[in-house]
Structure 1
Amino acid sequence: MKRASGVNTQRGLCCAGLSLLAGLSAAVQATEGGGSTYPMGVENYMSGAMPPPGLYAQFYVGHYEADSLRDNGGHKVPVDFRVQANSIAPRLIWVTHSQVLGGSLAFHTIVPLVDLKVNLNGQSQRKQGLGDIIFGPALGYHLSDKLHIIAAVDFLAPTGDYDKHDLTNIGRNYWAVQPVLALSYVDPTGLNIDAKTMYDINFKNNDTDYRSGQELHVDYAVGWGFGQGWVVGVGGYAYQQTTNDKQFGDTIEDNKGRAFAIGPSVKYTSNKGWFLTAKWEQETDVRNRAQGDAYWMKLTVPF
């Protein structure tokens, strides 16, 4: 039996779910609430280049804001809507000395801290706290001095606060598994290309008996190295939901999410081993999701 879409709208940021439980049009929901476990577009330059063995700390700082919801045709939904989300997500990376299948074995975990505020049709709610934690193993390959690849499997744990009756949530309330393949072409005085491709396999939210569809997305960056540690270019993400959602065993059709984002991106690499990336991305061609702007910074520091 096929079923019409539900009544949520959502945009994920730093593994934080943003549930908008209001009586919106059935055409604006993609995945449960229109959001994702992964923060789309968070990665930038060097996403596929595994560093040498050792411990590394990364810090992701993000800001997302939107005041538009898009339906299945890309049209703006006539509601009074605004979301603002800020996040700081520390990440610990351990690159071991072990080799597996010819690649360097590494492990990582990301622990996001989220400040989320939603306004919808005169209602408002704000939540702060721990979002959904990401962890997993990875294998890094250095095919040449410029071309690098990382293959990984990430696990997304439902550690963020969630209540199905709330206007907004900073957790998704379900597990997800995410195969990852990331590529980096690095030239300090030439072309730089990065693409991190991910496929989300979402499990069921037992509180709502809802299982979000599977999702394919790519974080990308393309730039030019000018020497002295600087790379300047563009970056963003492409997103497409690939399978339908299900609730109470019924399929929900015509609600798959889609989006594309692009904006300026820059990287600076210090001669002391740390590097910083930053970008601003605007979302466009959005279907069944919120549409807005995101600002990201990522600092990587070796111990």
Structure 2
Amino acid sequence: MPFLTLRDYCRALGVPIVVGAAIGSCCHVSTVHATEGGGSNYPVGVNTLLSGIQPAPGSHIYIYLQAYEATTFEGNNGNPSSSVANFSLHAQAAAFRLSHVWRDVTFLGATLESRTNIPFVNLDLHFDAHTPKGTVYKSGRATGLSDLTIGPLFLGWHLGNLHQVLGLEFFVPSGGYDPNKVANPGRNYYSMQPNYAVTWLPTPRVEFSARALYSVNSVNHATDYHSGNEFIVDYNAGFRFTPMWQIGVSGYFYKQITDDTQHGQVVNGNGNRGQAVAVGPSIAYGSRRFSVALKYQREMLVRNRPEGNRFWLQMYMPFQ
């Protein structure tokens, strides 16, 4: 059986696979930080498979299901935080991305795409907080719409076996938020994220992809907490062993670049800068009208964030 053409393969896998679900520890925790609550607007690890290839002209829908669980919250030295014990976070997300690539419209030789992401989350968090007055048990659950993502313009270039996408996304605080609650679906601040993705296909069977972004975060005015800016890289290395099946290794690198501040002061004296690296296997199947991918990512080298495991189920269908 002959292999699909590059164009058919990219359509079959539904690229690029992205979503704006605010999950990856999408919660506000008043006693631990590294960005407020140790989370991020961006769902780290989602943009892995063929992330540098823009889909064909027309409309597309992407569906993303994620489960995340963590039982430790790491401190600044990479060991479990001394201020938190018996930490447990379980989070699930379902997100829908609507994408439209404009027909017969180009700019600087690139095709143009617009996106929006609609995420929903379910959170279950509990831990013991060590305070000067003793140990306090904290817990919370939350379910609902998380923060929407708007991507007004993405530019896509296709140069032989090298493909690139350059864009800008905005995270809007549309999810529910209460500063008195331990867990919230929304994060109550805006983020602006310029991003660049590249996919290199040196042979019809082999793929190398990466997507880098820099998240500039605004102040959460309910708590006067300003989460530091973040640099994130999602990546994938894949091998297509049949016309429709690919196996690979995917994950992400997360690094907080600037300090957290609250009331104009650096949090905890060192900015509580977060860090994480994740890696794990992936498998994907694609036809010309449907694709599905399953991924597992294990976190390590974590600082000032929860350390856990992510499971992804991602699907794609074109309208055209």
In the TM superposition, 1:1-303 aligns within 5 A as 14-16=21-23, 17-22=26-31, 29-78=33-82, 79-97=85-103, 98-121=105-128, 122-136=137-151, 137-144=153-160, 146-186=161-201, 189-252=204-267, 253-254=269-270, 255-270=272-287, 272-303=288-319
Contact 1:257 1:289 in 2 (8 A): yes
Return the letter of the residue paired with 1:35.
G
Return the letter of the residue paired with 1:242.
I
d(CA) in 2 for partners of 1:187, 1:297: 27
d(CA) in 1 for partners of 2:75, 2:56: 45
**CA RMSD, Structure 1 to Structure 2 (Å):** 1.5
Please report how far the alpha carbon of residue 139 of structure 1 lies from its aligned counterpart in structure 2 after TM superposition. Answer: 0.7
Please report how far the alpha carbon of residue 185 of structure 1 lies from its aligned counterpart in structure 2 after TM superposition. Answer: 2.3
d(CA) in 2 for partners of 1:187, 1:158: 41
Please report how far the alpha carbon of residue 190 of structure 1 lies from its aligned counterpart in structure 2 after TM superposition. Answer: 2.2
d(CA) in 2 for partners of 1:248, 1:233: 45
Moved over 3 A (4+): 186-189
Flag the 1:59–1:186 CA change in 2: closer, same or farther, 3 A. Answer: farther
Contact 2:21 2:117 in 1 (8 A): no
Query: Which deviations, in whole Å up to 9, do the C-alpha atoms of 1:8-43 show, x marking residues without a partner?
Result: xxxxx9214311234xxxxx5211222111111122
Please report how far the alpha carbon of residue 189 of structure 1 lies from its aligned counterpart in structure 2 after TM superposition. Answer: 4.2
Please report how far the alpha carbon of residue 231 of structure 1 lies from its aligned counterpart in structure 2 after TM superposition. Answer: 1.3
Which range moves more in the overlay, 250-259 or 68-77? 250-259
State the TM-score, normalizing by the size of structure 2. Answer: 0.85
Contact 1:217 1:239 in 2 (8 A): yes
Percent sequence identity over aligned pairs? 37
Which range moves more in the overlay, 53-62 or 241-250? 241-250
d(CA) in 1 for partners of 2:74, 2:243: 42
d(CA) in 1 for partners of 2:187, 2:230: 15
Query: Which deviations, in whole Å up to 9, do the C-alpha atoms of 1:48-82 show, x marking residues without a partner?
Result: 11011100000011000000010000001250110
For 2:174, what is the secondary structure of its paired residue? Answer: coil
Please report how far the alpha carbon of residue 287 of structure 1 lies from its aligned counterpart in structure 2 after TM superposition. Answer: 0.1
Please report how far the alpha carbon of residue 100 of structure 1 lies from its aligned counterpart in structure 2 after TM superposition. Answer: 1.5
Return the letter of the residue paired with 1:20.
V
